[in-house]
Structure 1
């Protein structure tokens, strides 16, 4: 943990919002059009991977008669339709982390492989837009997670070094991105996620409440 914590960099899908079930449903419906029986077990390894990369993977795996970039556009359109009248629910305990961080004077960023429109809709719907200092979403950088570039970009925009911030993640690709950027990474474990997938993280937690307790303890020790 940093000696002087200045910022939290928070992943979107599965860390800020509980979007994984809906993301799976969207992909499942798209692939059903090609007579593909896509299961949640098939989806799990794709969690935390940007949509355009998943589209390339699915086109190759199932030999789909559609270009990967076009499939990625279909996914983005279907996600937009899903979100027109609702938003992904917040993860339990994340609001408490955000409010604690702002009370401490920390900067907040959302660093995600998800489409920017999806991230911004989540922030707007849950009245978080004014609390977030920076958003780096899918397509904002030349390379996406698991490459470190999204987190490095967020640090640059916040004018901070990796030693001043902590990343909150829930997937192997996201953790690899954060650790590759030199960040301390606190990972949340989901019921469907194997701990072995999270082993690159600095620490692994069962809940957001546990992460908040760790952050509070770290700050108390420094002060």
Structure 2
């Protein structure tokens, strides 16, 4: 029986991926480096910041992952000090409908706790999600299954009692590796990803909500 829905954060609940891309460009610019949008969409969207920093440092030996992580983190904190990432359409309605249906909610994200804290302050996520797994909570981020396995452990649920909602192939892979069913809501950056393993691919959050509620009947 379906008891819980586990949501990704960036690109699923909030419109942050395009902002993250711009922040990465600002991080790389002082080093004389850039990152093509198509490359970001294919390999970086949906990945934890640390993993992206390691990938970039591996390509550009003039810097290190630690330096990139610190610079990107500083830019992100400055952005979030002034504004939270925008809430995506249908999210507030969906969370309210799922809660009203008696489903438990959790967030599973590769984002740092400071990023999620901004969303919690702006949108009251603390009162909606029973547990929030951040990138700081795990040794291995998505697409590794650890984030979703930790969420299930905190909720005290088996994998067949929950479903995940993701927007990227990396997030989908994490959920599937944890043994969860997962639906996908592709966005502009991830529409070219391979979602063949998803239980369903939906156009938007409202359609996803209808699909999720139909599974509990």
Q: Same fold (TM over 0.5)?
A: yes
Q: CA RMSD in A?
A: 1.3
Counterpart pick for 1:70 among 45, 67, 71: 67
**1:175-199 C-alpha deviation (Å, 9 max, x unpaired):** 0000111111010012332455222
**1:108-162 C-alpha deviation (Å, 9 max, x unpaired):** 1110011111012112111221111101111211111100000000000011111
Count of equivalent residues: 216
For the residues of structure 2 that align with 1:86 and 1:162, how far apart are their CA atoms? 35
Counterpart pick for 1:210 among 193, 199, 207: 207
TM-score relative to the length of structure 2 = 0.95
Contact 1:10/1:109 (8 A) holds in 2: yes
TM-score relative to the length of structure 1 = 0.92
Equivalent positions of 1:66-215 (< 5 A) are 66-215=63-212
For the residues of structure 1 that align with 2:120 and 2:69, how far apart are their CA atoms? 23
Counterpart pick for 1:56 among 51, 54, 57: 54
**1:37-72 C-alpha deviation (Å, 9 max, x unpaired):** 323222112011111110011111133x22212311
- What does residue 42 of structure 1 align with? 39
Contact 2:168/2:193 (8 A) holds in 1: no
- What does residue 27 of structure 2 align with? 30
For the residues of structure 2 that align with 1:98 and 1:194, how far apart are their CA atoms? 23
Runs of 4+ residues deviating >6 angstroms: none
The SS at the match of 2:31 is coil
Counterpart pick for 1:17 among 9, 14, 35: 14
